[in-house]
Chains A and B, each alone.
Chain A
Amino acid sequence: MENTTIVETHSLTKRYGSGVLAVDSVDMSVRRGEVYGFLGPNGAGKTTTLRMLLGLIRPTSGTATVAGHAPGSPVGLARIGSLIESPGFYPYLSGRENLRVVADLASVKQKRVDEVLDIVELSSRAGRKFGTYSTGMKQRLGVAAALLKDPDLLILDEPTNGLDPQGMAEMRKLIKDIGQGDRTVLLSSHLLGEVEAICDRVGVISNGHLVTQSTVQELLGEEGVLVRAQPIEQAQDFLTRMFGAEAISRQDGAIHLKTKPENSADINRQLMNAGISVSELRPFERSLEEVFFKLTGEKQGS
């Protein structure tokens, strides 16, 4: 049976010489073919974890298997493309020449250079020196370099960093396109909307701990209906009798009801018939932002 995970870590830990615990016992599992969002605030340990997966940083303890091999193994690296933080290229070479040198090192045929330039839509500006590129062009070239090996696993660390809104939208579309098919994308980000829009599953890291790991839908919770009514206690008793106590919760003066939004009309009618006046009744869905702040213990708007 083929192994369904392409990245697996067990108690992966990195403590720097200064005593700083950057990553603490991370157990992470990325499945083949998915777009996995690695979500966390700045300084949470995302980049350190990704660097450990690529063999750039040695873990203090714990193990990791990436594309079937130990991190940094030449056989494993042959199947991994990566862009870690800002793209590292030679400023005196053109975009195309930069890709050519990387292709040489990766033992990739030179014709692949033009293919990846087309994918990231940089062909027309590939002759310009890298040092003259805008941030967006540099990021695109970084993604192009990551695609050179036509990798099974693509590791992208904050690829929209420093981009303007249009550049971010273009990069997200590009990542979505790249992630279609059998390729696995491991995308780190601190941008919730980005992860929600692109990813199938999410791992949330905070202060070096992997707080949770699940599908975006699981993270957002079941769908439901929000009810505001008067008198609220009477409304809650009535709805508890209708749906059971486990389906009801109170938050900010409203009732959260775990039920399908299609039941809204029936709920409204029954509450009205019971003499309860309904002021608000709408489908309820938690935002990823709300979940994220709850999981990481960070304060919203701080």
Chain B
Amino acid sequence: MIATIKFEWRKLRFRPALFVSAGLIAALTALVYFFSWYQALHPSTGDRGLVNIATLYPDQFVNQVIGAGAIGGAIAIVLGAIYAGSEFSWGTLKTMFTQRPGRLTVWAGRLVVFSVWMGIMAAVLFVAGAALSVVVALFQGHAISWPAAVDIAKGFGAIWLIFVAEGAIGLGLGVVIRQSAAALGAGLIYLLAVELIAVRFIDSINNGAYKWIGNLFVGQNAAALTQSFTSPAFGRSLAPAISAEHAVLVLAAYGVGLMIIAAGLLRLRDVT
């Protein structure tokens, strides 16, 4: 297992996707901060354009960056699909499976490193958010104070879980389809279209009698978990239909379940 982790880590640290994804998430965080800052200083008429400048200060940075979970989740699907699918495209699966460790050991090592990668993504998001919130506070002459360490840890854990669960969709699709391009396309279509349509349809049946089914979809639970991080500075918000505890359990089940299914496929299928 240690050998497979070393193998995966040595590969990952040279992989352009690691730096590109980290740069992308930092850039998106910066865009969100700068647009929100502009909107806070130049409010348009009506409620829609109103942004409270207080949400951009360091004490609110966890609640602010966790809103990027949806975009980060989409990136995680892409990364999962690339991570699993490219081994098929490059023909490196046969190289991996003809060395010493067994298939499941190789896959387990890969999952550990993928989870670390998602942790790096979450860390980049948090560091970028914290740094940008300091910039805003300094420019606005606001005192710098930070959220409690436990809130930072909870927020980090939540965003990491969302990335891992959505990344597992990409991983699973990469293994099923055996290539990255189609897998990431299918993953994004699922997240951005199929799930939304399916949930809306399910919720409409019989006056919402089957809403509980809609509450089992990954995107719904990711959204509910991010919405559970809020404060009065963000204004009134509707109570989420899914509790944070429910969301954590469902997301964990998705992550673990999809990784086990992918492991089973890799174990049983021929490498041709």
Say if A and B assemble together.
yes
Q: Report A's interface with B, CB cutoff 8 A.
A: 51, 54-58, 72, 74, 77-78, 80, 82, 84-93, 97, 100-102, 104-107, 145, 149
CB distance from B253 to the nearest CB of A (A): 30
- CB < 8 Å neighbour of B3 from A51, A87, A92, A107: A107
Residue of A nearest to B95 (CB): A88
Judge whether B236 is part of the interface by a CB distance below 8 angstroms: no
Size of the chain B interface, CB-CB below 8 angstroms: 27
Judge whether B92 is part of the interface by a CB distance below 8 angstroms: yes
Q: Cβ of A104: which chain B residues have Cβ within 8 Å of it?
A: 3, 6-7, 10
Judge whether B157 is part of the interface by a CB distance below 8 angstroms: no
Q: Is A92 a contact of B7 with CB atoms below 8 Å?
A: no
Residue of B nearest to A100 (CB): B10
Judge whether B90 is part of the interface by a CB distance below 8 angstroms: yes
Q: What is the 8 Å Cβ interface bit string for chain B, positions 68-98, against chain A (1 contact, 0 not)? A: 0000000000000000000000111111111
Judge whether B106 is part of the interface by a CB distance below 8 angstroms: yes
- The number of residue pairs between A and B whose CB atoms lie closer than 8 Å in the complex comes to 85
Q: A77-B99, A78-B100 are in contact. Are A105 and B3 (CB under 8 A)?
A: yes
Q: Cβ of A100: which chain B residues have Cβ within 8 Å of it?
A: 10
Listed residue (A55, A77, A82, A105) with the most chain B CB atoms within 10 angstroms of its CB? A105
Residue of A nearest to B103 (CB): A72
Residue of A nearest to B109 (CB): A105
Q: A51-B272, A78-B100, A106-B99 are in contact. Are A56 and B6 (CB under 8 A)?
A: no
Q: Report B's interface with A, CB cutoff 8 A.
A: 3-4, 6-7, 10-11, 14-16, 90-102, 105-106, 270-272
- CB < 8 Å neighbour of B95 from A51, A80, A89, A92: A89
Q: Cβ of B3: which chain A residues have Cβ within 8 Å of it?
A: 104-107
Q: Is B91 a contact of A55 with CB atoms below 8 Å?
A: no
Apart from the given pairs A54-B97, A88-B93, A101-B11, 18 other A-B contacts in the complex at a CB distance below 8 Å? A51-B94, A51-B272, A56-B94, A56-B271, A77-B100, A78-B100, A86-B91, A92-B14, A93-B14, A101-B7, A101-B10, A102-B7, A104-B6, A105-B4, A105-B100, A105-B106, A106-B3, A107-B3
Q: Is B271 a contact of A91 with CB atoms below 8 Å?
A: no
CB distance from B263 to the nearest CB of A (A): 16
**Whole-angstrom CA separation of A57 from B3 in the bound complex:** 24
